[in-house]
Each structure stands twice: as C-alpha cells, then as structure tokens.
Chains A and B, each alone.
Chain A
C-alpha cells in the first residue's frame, strides 16, 4: 500500500466552480501535512500547510481527519490560474516527505 494515495483526476471544472478532492495516508503516526502545487514541468511549491482544526487561505480550504487518515482540499471560485497538479504531502515527523502522485485540476473558461 502506498503511503499517500490521491485520486489522479483529472478534474475539469468551469471558471467559478468549486472543486474538492481528498488524499489518504497510511501511517497513523504522521505529524505534518501539506498541499503543494506543481505546474507542468516545474518544481512543487507549497500551497498550504494543513492543521488539525482545518485552515483556510483565501479561496483554498484544507481539512485534516486524523481518525480516518485523510486530507482534503477545496478550491472555491476556481480561476484559470488554478489549473495545476496538486500534491498531497505527509511527514511522519522525521526527515522524509511522502508525496502522493497528484491530482490534476483543469479550469476551463
């Protein structure tokens, strides 16, 4: 079983729509959680950290469910510039980040 699993998508949504997707992680001892964004042929960039209480950054909302071991990301009022691959990332509290394979989102005009 992979440490981090994501629905690969793609999610094709019109501008202004809301899109949400999850990832699951296998190690219950995981301590830190992140969403990174990766544009085509570019490096991953931190979108947001994910906290136990859930957190919001503008149009982006992240939730963490430790009991069920999943993390979610919701994007409201989608923009064309939100088109990217979103990587779910988990840290067990040591040195290693474990990445999911990514969820592809395409926002169309």
Chain B
C-alpha cells in the first residue's frame, strides 16, 4: 500500500505570493494533519482535519488555511508569503486523528525569497 504522498516536493516562491500544497493520506485513513518544520526545530502543528471538518488549529496566522476533500486528501494554502514561511511542510495521516500514531509524508520544502 502507498504511504502518505505530498506534492510538490520542492517549491520556490517570492514574498507576497500564495502557495497550495497537497497531501493524500494512506488508504483507509480519514484524518490529515499539517505540520511546519523550520530548520533546527521539531514540527509544529498547523491543522488537523477529520471527515472534512477542521478539528484543530495551531498557533498560526489566518494566512494559513486548509481543507479536506471527500476522498480525504487535503490542501494547505498559505497566502501573502513571508520569508519566515520557508520550511518543510509535513502532512500526516491517521485513522481518526486522535491519540493513535500519525504517519508522515515526505514533505514539501518551501523556500520563500
């Protein structure tokens, strides 16, 4: 079975632009979480979606938004990009998103110039 997939793998944008990142969870998983990892730090929670509903949101500005589709795939959108948004964006999937194990995709590496 395929694991979590993310696209694109790498992306270069300039300040002020917007970006859309995509994630497909493991087959059978209904929950997708998004994390941001800047260099030298652990991943920071951005959002979790379960059954197309936002279940939780981390301490990120409203420039960050997400949604989940009926097939459980998900998009993360970031508007008005800042240099500080440069990071590895990780998607994780799990059955319900509660306290069980989450499995991570390979991430999208975003560079904002």
Contact = CB atoms under 8 A, between A and B. Distances in A.
Contacts of B42: 4, 87, 99-102
A57 to B, nearest CB: 14
A6 to B, nearest CB: 8
B45 A98 contact: yes
A108 B23 CA distance: 37
A17 interface: no
A95 B106 contact: no
Interface string A67-109: 0000000000000000000010001011111111110000000
A45 B48 CA distance: 19
Nearest to A42: B106
Band of interface residues on B: 20 to 34
Contacts of A49: 101
Contacts of A91: 99
Contacts, number: 57
Contact of B99 (A93, A99, A100, A101): A93
Interface stretch (B12-20, B50-58, B60-68, B72-80): B50-58
B95 to A, nearest CB: 12
B86 interface: no
B33 A101 contact: no
A94 B106 contact: no
Interface of B: 31, 33, 35, 40-45, 48, 50, 55-56, 58, 88, 90, 92, 97-107, 109
Interface of A: 4, 31-32, 34, 41-46, 49, 87, 91, 93-102
27 contacts: A4-B42, A31-B99, A32-B99, A41-B88, A43-B90, A43-B106, A44-B43, A44-B90, A45-B104, A46-B101, A49-B101, A87-B42, A91-B99, A93-B99, A95-B48, A95-B50, A95-B55, A95-B56, A95-B97, A96-B56, A97-B92, A97-B102, A99-B35, A100-B42, A101-B40, A101-B42, A102-B42
